[in-house]
Amino acid sequence: MTHPSRPNGDAVAAIDAAAVAALRDEPLAWHAKGLPTSWHGCTPANLVGADPFADGAVGPLCVLDDAALRHDAATMADWCTRRGVLLAPHGKTHMSPQLLARQFDAGAWAVTAATVGQVRVFRRFGVRRVVLANEVADAAGLAWLAAELDADPAFELVCWVDSTAGVALMTAALTAAGARRPLDVCVEVGMAGGRTGCRTAGQTDAVARAVTASDRLRLVGVAGYEAARGHDVDPASCDRVRAYLGEVRAAVRRLRFETDDVLVTAGGSTYLDVVADELTGGWPAGLRVRTVLRSGCYLTHDDGLYRRTSPLPLRPALTVWAHVLSRPEPDLALVSMGRRDVSHDQGLPVPRGLPHGRVEALHDQHAFLRLGGGDDARVGDWLAFGVSHPCTTFDKWQAIPVLDEAGRVVDVVRTYF
């Protein structure tokens, strides 16, 4: 992968602006959840200035805050520039070309994907630099990647390897596919009790040797994921993260790469500052290293997990609105929002405007909202909820209005999960 010409990005990373702009003229589907019936068949361009609630949103309804999106994109871009790191935001969070275009406009260097299927979506919209943060273990996916790389010399992709078996599988599949370009890979360093990745320095070195012996792969860097065991930010947890990143750093210093531009990449949305501290600067003379962060949740932030753990002054941009359906007990409201509408894997939704309220449980289509301290929620009221972990809210919505500070539509973004 080529060296960038400016700190946060260059032309090769750009998304196809025309393909993204065309979405504004594509009619909304009749089955797009929560949108007013009068919007079905309309284009986002037709709806600029509209008020979804005045137009008859049926609820629940997911919306985005345009001002918060702008603030968060600018805040992250400024932080990355000051810390001397590149940003490849994880596209799995939103799978929205329109939101990704905002991230590229703010200087993102690449997009991160988790699967070949996600790469296919981004390629449909002209993205030309992708970090695929997994080892690819299926022959069909590898054949598709080989075809894309061979068809477009400007397309850049790097993925992970963490086993000699994976190296052998990838080499055989790429050979069978007739790949002409070698596939760039990073050896992945894992942690005990974590997710993927080599568990020992000896395993890391063996995988690296297997890559350099392959005529279908090219070793370009080292990858890791420091939050594989959780998102606690107490001193002991941060020390564990630093120790792990020290192993990633040691691998970069120890291995021999097949490029002059070595990539080291880590960084979810919790330990950005620790990653920047541990993986930038102080490299040996002659070793040119690019540190790439893969945060996905910064753009929308949230009201739960990342409000508690992010080191950056971000604003929550994602809201799910729902109606009060029932008040069966004095301190209990049942709300028209459930597991099919909002995330619950990293904490329950957070009610806004009800300082003593808390969501206690979700069913498929209901939220159990416990009230207290004079909180009022009448049957039929619209209530706003922040989310905890945006990744598993976005995938529940196909079309999401982006609203200005007056609650008027500036765009309707599509998601492609």
Q: Is there a contact between 166 and 190 (Cβ–Cβ < 8 Å)?
A: no
Complete DSSP assignment for 282-329 = -PPTT-EEEEEE---STTT--SSHHHHH-SS-----EEEEEEEEEEEE
Separation CA 176–CA 179 (nearest Å): 8
Pairing of strands 61-65, 399-403: parallel
Using CA atoms, how far residue 159 sits from 13, 113, 133, 290, 372, in Å, is: 16, 9, 6, 16, 50
Q: Is there a contact between 332 and 354 (Cβ–Cβ < 8 Å)?
A: no
Complete DSSP assignment for 153-193 = TT-EEEEEE--HHHHHHHHHHHHHTT--SPEEEEEEB--TT
- Examine residue 390 and say whether the peptide bond preceding it is cis (omega within 30 degrees of 0): no
Quick: pLDDT tens for 371-392.
Answer: 999 999 999 999 999 999 999 9
Q: Which residues pair with 409 in a beta bridge?
A: 403
Quick: pLDDT tens for 170-188.
Answer: 999 999 999 999 999 999 9
Q: What percent of the chain has pLDDT over 70?
A: 97
Homologous superfamily (CATH) for 128-295: Alanine racemase (3.20.20.10)
* CATH number assigned to the domain with residue range 27-65+312-414, chosen from the 4 options 3.30.70.370, 2.40.37.20, 1.20.210.10, 3.40.50.300: 2.40.37.20
Domain boundaries, the chain: 27-65+312-414, 128-295
Residue 238: φ, ψ to 5°: -65, -35
Q: Tell me the helices (H) and strands (E) count for the chain, helix number first.
A: 12, 17
**pLDDT at position 314:** 98
pLDDT at residue 13 above 80?
no
pLDDT band at 89 (very low <50, low <70, confident <90, very high): very high
pLDDT band at 14 (very low <50, low <70, confident <90, very high): confident
